[in-house]
Chains A and B, each alone.
Chain A
Amino acid sequence: MAATSPLRRAHTRHRRLSHTQRQRLLAWALIVPAFLVVFALILTPILRAFWMSLHVIDLKRPAIGQPFVGLGNYLDILQDATFWASVARTGYFMLISIALEVMLGVAVALLLNQHFRGRGLLRALVLIPWALPITIDAIMWKWIYNPSYGALNSLLYQTGVIASYRTWLSDPISAMHMVIIADVWKTTPLVILLTLAALQTIPPALYEAARVDGASAWRGFWDVTLPLLRPVLTIILVIRTMDAFKVFDIIYIMTSGGPSDGTKVIAYYTYLEAFSFLRQGRGAALAWLMTLFIGMMAFLYIRLVNRETEY
């Protein structure tokens, strides 16, 4: 920030010459504690992970030592069909869950932007899934899906939707969709809250102008609301892409990557390599590949945020 106010300039002139230098020193001093914490525990591990990824580190076979293999781990991974299958599953999870979250989220945000009795209460309710820890979300849905005692089977059976109980999590395709439902229930509220905040900044005069011009509510949505929501929707998409790409907790608890690897997403695959098979060099390489993807998304995010603030 440049010191621009005339008062401030007059004030600084009274100080010694080293004032700017002292301010700069202070600017650094305020940051140093945070950076010590963040860099010691984030930057060092990142570099160490990269170094590890260049070696074969197989803790189950200590006899082979930890030979340096250069980019060998990366090449191995990129030629591995299991890796690409887990990438495809992650992509499917991201695509379906984000599409549902954005569509439902915008719809509910539009609803909450209307005037009706109980609107405040409903807005408060939206916070419940958002605040619920993801692990609790996972055990809750796993219990609902329980093949023998679960609420879902009972509800669908008693209302005549299904003729016999199903084992929702025992089929790879069904399991993936059940996990997606649990994720959508938990995450749509974030989309609702962000979209609603953006909707509330749209001046009502714009809608009135559209109505005077004879536009229907539907056209008003497409021509007025949606273009104005574009910035927030773009940001939601980027945030959700970064997050959904890392999906782990819900998979670990609900399906453990199964059945027959049907929900083995990239984060779970990496976790298994590093902590179950103890192939930590390969695990580190996988983590680096994940980071590269997320880094690209983060870069996009920063570009978008910068463009937004400029107007």
Chain B
Amino acid sequence: MRRLLLQMGLYAAALLVAVVILAPPIWLFISSISSSAELLSVPVHWIPEAPTFDRYVQVITATGGESAANFRRSLLNSLTVALLVTFLCVAVGALAAYSFARMSFAGHGNLIYVLLLSYTLPPLMLVIPLFRIMGDLSLTDTLQGLVIVYASLIMPFAIWILRSYFQTIPSDLEDAAMIDGCTRVQALRRVILPISLPGIVATALFCFLASWEEFLIALIFTSSPAAKTIPVAIAEFTGRHAIDYGMMATGGVIAALPPILIALVFQRYLISGLSSGAVKG
């Protein structure tokens, strides 16, 4: 009897957690497929009478007004920036991470902490001076400018995770490869990198997610639709006087989909990366 009650309590708690997690995003989705009239009904129409995917079509085909076109543009901007940043961080970061994990030189131990420290900086610290520096280089309001700033901000984190991953690989593997005549660089490329694929995937995903959701820097450095990323486009949307709630919800759902899909598909990689990055040294 007691066992049964305990089981029921367990399922009730699990159900509650599931509802709390799911209700807000589901509501955002329902809002995105409700008609404009229903969105403004009091009390709320919980289930739309005539669900419509028109807004999604508008955003994807960039038809039906300025806001749909701007959303599409900003989605492409976000995607371009995130992919380039991910590539830069993983490619350059892996080399540095390997050096930190395996090789030693003077000041080596402290350097990694300098890197970590730079990752924890408040973005405002960088944004205030960078605003002038980027202005001098005419990089404000360009995608290139964003890629450079993001890569430098996210790279320390990429190095940190990759380093903890490389440290879990026994160094006997490279030793064996080097005895067989490989140089260290060849050993890194042919032995370590292939084995580290899970860690590299996790790092790439973190870089992508971080770049995709960054807001403050994009807010200050971009002003034209040609360079605005999706968080900026959405934030701007909510600041207007007459808000098109349906379009706002649609933009939100579309912007949330890539990171959520990534998280669900790659959950094992992300969770192991998360705990090794945060918990281990």
Q: Which of B21, B120, B255 contacts A297 (CB 8 A)?
A: B120
Contact with A along B111-142 (1 / 0, CB 8 A): 10101111011111111111011000000000
Contact assessment for A33 and B117 in the assembled complex, using a CB-CB cutoff below 8 Å: no
Contact assessment for A134 and B213 in the assembled complex, using a CB-CB cutoff below 8 Å: yes
Q: Which of A37, A133, A275 contacts B155 (CB 8 A)?
A: A37
Cα–Cα distance between A150 and B88 once the two chains are bound (Å): 42
Q: Which of A8-44 contact B (CB under 8 A)?
A: 8, 11, 23-24, 26-28, 30-31, 33-35, 37-38, 40-44
Cα–Cα distance between A52 and B127 once the two chains are bound (Å): 12
* Count of chain B residues near A, Cβ 8 A: 102
Q: Give the one of A28, A41, A118, A246 with max B CB within 10 A.
A: A41
Closest Cβ neighbor of A249 among chain B residues: B215
B179 interface contact, C-beta 8 A = yes
Contact assessment for A108 and B17 in the assembled complex, using a CB-CB cutoff below 8 Å: yes
Contact assessment for B152 and A40 in the assembled complex, using a CB-CB cutoff below 8 Å: yes
Q: Which of A110-149 contact B (CB under 8 A)?
A: 111, 114, 116, 118-119, 122-136, 138-144, 146, 148-149
Q: Which of B92, B115, B133, B270 contacts A127 (CB 8 A)?
A: B270
Contact assessment for B175 and A287 in the assembled complex, using a CB-CB cutoff below 8 Å: no
Q: Give the one of B123, B255, B260 with max A CB within 10 A.
A: B260
A221 interface contact, C-beta 8 A = no
Cα–Cα distance between A290 and B156 once the two chains are bound (Å): 20
Contact assessment for B126 and A197 in the assembled complex, using a CB-CB cutoff below 8 Å: no
Contact assessment for A31 and B111 in the assembled complex, using a CB-CB cutoff below 8 Å: yes
Closest Cβ neighbor of A22 among chain B residues: B184
B47 interface contact, C-beta 8 A = no
Contact assessment for A125 and B18 in the assembled complex, using a CB-CB cutoff below 8 Å: yes
Cα–Cα distance between A246 and B238 once the two chains are bound (Å): 22
Contact assessment for B278 and A143 in the assembled complex, using a CB-CB cutoff below 8 Å: no
Cα–Cα distance between A136 and B252 once the two chains are bound (Å): 6
Contact assessment for A140 and B28 in the assembled complex, using a CB-CB cutoff below 8 Å: yes
Contact assessment for B14 and A111 in the assembled complex, using a CB-CB cutoff below 8 Å: yes
| B270: chain A residues within 8 A (beta carbon) | 127
State how many angstroms separate the Cβ of A244 from the closest Cβ of chain B.
Answer: 12
Cα–Cα distance between A125 and B16 once the two chains are bound (Å): 12
B169 interface contact, C-beta 8 A = no
B197 interface contact, C-beta 8 A = no
A78 interface contact, C-beta 8 A = no
State how many angstroms separate the Cβ of A217 from the closest Cβ of chain B.
Answer: 9
Contact assessment for A143 and B248 in the assembled complex, using a CB-CB cutoff below 8 Å: yes
Q: Which of B152-189 contact A (CB under 8 A)?
A: 152-153, 155-156, 159, 171-172, 175, 178-179, 184-185
| B274: chain A residues within 8 A (beta carbon) | 190, 193-194, 197
Q: Which of B31-84 contact A (CB under 8 A)?
A: 31, 39-44
| B200: chain A residues within 8 A (beta carbon) | none
Q: Which of B241-260 contact A (CB under 8 A)?
A: 245, 248-249, 252, 255-256, 259-260
Contact assessment for A24 and B238 in the assembled complex, using a CB-CB cutoff below 8 Å: no
Contact assessment for A135 and B213 in the assembled complex, using a CB-CB cutoff below 8 Å: yes
Q: Which of A44-67 contact B (CB under 8 A)?
A: 44-46, 48-49, 52
| A138: chain B residues within 8 A (beta carbon) | 235
B226 interface contact, C-beta 8 A = no
Cα–Cα distance between A116 and B10 once the two chains are bound (Å): 8
Q: Which of A44, A290, A305 contacts B125 (CB 8 A)?
A: A290
| A23: chain B residues within 8 A (beta carbon) | 103, 184
Q: Which of A133, A136, A283 contacts B124 (CB 8 A)?
A: A283
Cα–Cα distance between A127 and B267 once the two chains are bound (Å): 8
Q: Which of A151, A194, A283, A294 contacts B275 (CB 8 A)?
A: A194
Cα–Cα distance between A92 and B246 once the two chains are bound (Å): 34
Q: Which of A11, A31, A134, A287 contacts B122 (CB 8 A)?
A: A287
**11 A–B contacts, CB within 8 A, in A order:** A8-B179, A11-B179, A23-B184, A37-B92, A49-B128, A125-B21, A133-B230, A139-B235, A144-B24, A253-B238, A271-B216
Taking beta carbons and an 8 Å cutoff, which residues of B are in contact with A? 7, 10-11, 13-14, 17-18, 20-22, 24-25, 27-28, 31, 39-44, 88, 92-93, 95-96, 98-105, 108, 111, 113, 115-118, 120-130, 132-133, 148-149, 151-153, 155-156, 159, 171-172, 175, 178-179, 184-185, 209, 212-213, 215-216, 219-220, 230-231, 234-235, 237-238, 245, 248-249, 252, 255-256, 259-260, 262-264, 267, 270-271, 274-275, 278-281
Taking beta carbons and an 8 Å cutoff, which residues of A are in contact with B? 1-2, 5, 7-8, 11, 23-24, 26-28, 30-31, 33-35, 37-38, 40-46, 48-49, 52, 108, 111, 114, 116, 118-119, 122-136, 138-144, 146, 148-151, 154-155, 157-158, 185, 189-190, 193-194, 197-198, 231-232, 235-236, 239, 242, 245-246, 248-249, 252-253, 267, 270-271, 274-275, 280, 283-284, 286-288, 290-291, 294-295, 297-298, 301-302, 305-306, 308-309
Q: A155-B44, A298-B120 are in contact. List 18 more A-B contacts (CB 8 A).
A: A23-B103, A24-B105, A31-B99, A41-B148, A45-B126, A48-B129, A49-B126, A122-B14, A125-B21, A127-B270, A128-B25, A134-B213, A139-B252, A149-B40, A197-B271, A246-B122, A280-B128, A284-B128
